[in-house]
Amino acid sequence: MANTKTGAKNSKIKNHSPTLFQRNDGIPFDSSLFENININKSAVERRAGTLTKRRSVKKEWQAAWLLKAITCIDLTTLAGDDTKSNVHRLCAKAKSPVRADLLEAMEMKEANIQVGAVCVYHNLITEAKAALTGSAIPIAAVSTGFPAGQIDLADKLRQIEKSVAAGAKEIDIVISRGLVIQSKWKELYDEVAACRKACGEAHLKTILATGEIPTYTKVAKASWVSMMAGSDFIKTSTGKESVNATIPVSLVMIRAIRAYHELTGFKVGFKPAGGIRKAKQALAWLILIKEELGNDWLTPHLFRFGASSLLGDIERQLEHFVTGNYSAAYRHPMA
């Protein structure tokens, strides 16, 4: 039997936040905090490669973890052909993501399992809002010229303001990758800080689009700048780059989140997105978060998956857990 942990007696991981979910206020730009960062890619890959081999969740533990994963999903549709009807279906699924009989079998009916948010383009916010009436599920809108971000700052800020006005509680912005490539960190800081201001009460989720950032060292630096500028979340990808969220790049970002927390006491959330389709992948990310950031981060307030088909696979795994038989997709209501 493995040991049970009783908490880090001498741990340096502090919890400065006076309230549980205090937002990241950001800090003034200070390049000395990140300019000496050096990420060793091969070592990061080695850790990423062995991390999920060191931990395994099975049986009840797997079921419980997968339910947690559902609550951390930003159930997403970001397609050119999105209309009222598919957004309504998506929202219905967001509210009741798991078949009631399965929840009952797991004695989880009272747990109010819902996804973390519904994520859509600006034009669909109104439809989503109507469909989610009566639920507490927030609407997240992608913004600032998503996915490439190749529009000017004034337009980006206008987009944010309009989405917030339309009812989005979370704004997923894309950063200007060109600023990262050219190491224009102060400009990047100013851009993200302006977005944060435009968000007002809405939470700012900053997409780095790591598939378009050339090195892990720059991913770490971009993470730092985004956090310093007040991002509530940092997010790997739009789902539209050729390389989406990977465990190694997530590790780099998560370590930046940890260091930023150690320095400032602010807890910044993390959102991997793109290509996360399987329950097994979801477990890997939860393990990554638990090992590197600790249990505090295993909550929708600080961790989200950007995913559209992940939920379906999790449902099948849950049915397998309950019945002992492998499941089929058609046995679960579609989104």
Partner 1 sequence: MKIKEIYETMAYGPATESAAVAIDFLDTHNRTFQLFIDGEWKEPASRNYFETINPSTKENLAKIAVANAQDVDEAVVAANKALPKWKAIGGYQRAKYLYALARQIQKHARLFAVLESLDNGKPIRETRDIDIPLVARHFYHHAGWAQLKDTQLKDYEEIGVVGQIIPWNFPLLMLSWKIAPALAMGNTIVLKPAEFTSLTALLFAEICQQVGLPKGVVNIITGDGTTGAALVNHPTVYKIAFTGSTEVGKIIRKATAGSGKKLSLELGGKSPFIVFEDADLDSVVEGVVDAIWFNQGQVCCAGSRLLVQESIADKLYEKIKVRMEQLRVGNALDKNIDIGAIIAPVQLKVIEDLVQQGIAEGSTLWQPSWACPKEGYFYPPSLFTNVAPSATIAQVEIFGPVLVAMSFRTPKEAVKLANNTRYGLACSLWTENINLALDIAPQIKAGTLWINCTNVFDAAAGFGGYRESGFGREGGKEGLFEYVKPRIEAEFSDKPFIKPAKKSKATKNELPPQGIDRTTKMYIGGKQSRPDGGYSTIIKSINGAYIGEVSKGNRKDIRNAVEAAHASNSWTSRTGHSRAQVLYYIAENLDIRKEEFANRLVQMTNQPKATALAEVDIALERIFLYAALADKYDGQVHHTTHKNVTLAMPEAIGVLGIICPEESPLLGFISTVIPAITMGNRVVVIPSETAPFSATDFYQILATSDVPAGTINIVTGAKEELTTVLAKHNDVDGLWYFGSKTGSKAVESLAADNMKRTWVNNGKYRNWKEKAHSEGEDFLRKASQIKNIWIPYGV
Amino acid at 13: I
14 is catalytic: no
Minimum distance of partner 1 from residue 296's CB (angstroms): 10
The region of 46-54, 136-144, 177-185, 228-236 touching partner 1 under the rule CB under 8 A is 46-54
Q: Beta strand 203-207 with 305-307: parallel, antiparallel or unpaired?
A: unpaired
- What's the maximum distance between 2 C-alpha atoms anywhere in the chain? 58
| Residue of 23, 12, 71, 52 whose CA lies nearest to 311 | 71
**Which residue number, 9 or 134, has a Cβ lying nearer to partner 1?**
9
Q: Is 112 in the site for partner 1 (CB under 8 A)?
A: no
269-288 footprint of partner 1 as x/- string (CB under 8 A): -----------------x--
Taking CB under 8 A as the binding criterion, the range among 7-15, 82-90, 128-136, 223-231 that sits at the site for partner 1 is 7-15
Which of 34, 65, 121, 185 contacts partner 1 by CB under 8 A? 65
Q: Which two tokens stand for residue 72?
A: 């951390």
- Assess whether 30 carries a catalytic annotation: no
* From 104-112, 163-171, 181-189, 239-247, span contacting partner 1 (CB under 8 A): 104-112
101 catalytic? Reply is no
Contact assessment for residue 256 and residue 284, using Cβ atoms and an 8 Å cutoff: no
Determine the Cα–Cα distance for residues 100 and 104; give it in Å rounded to an integer.
6
Q: Does 124 bind partner 1 (CB under 8 A)?
A: no
Question: What per-residue string of b and e applies to 157-172 under the rule 16 or more CB within 10 Å gives b?
Answer: bebbbebbebbbbbbb
Question: Least distance (Å) from partner 1 to the CB of residue 85?
Answer: 33
Lookup: tokens for 157:
């800020």
For 275, half-sphere exposure in the C-beta direction (CA atoms, 13 angstrom radius) is 14
- Binding footprint of partner 1 on the chain (CB under 8 A): 1-13, 36, 38-47, 50, 53-61, 63-65, 67-68, 106-108, 111, 214-217, 255, 286, 290-291, 295, 298
The catalytic site residues sit at 172, 235, 271
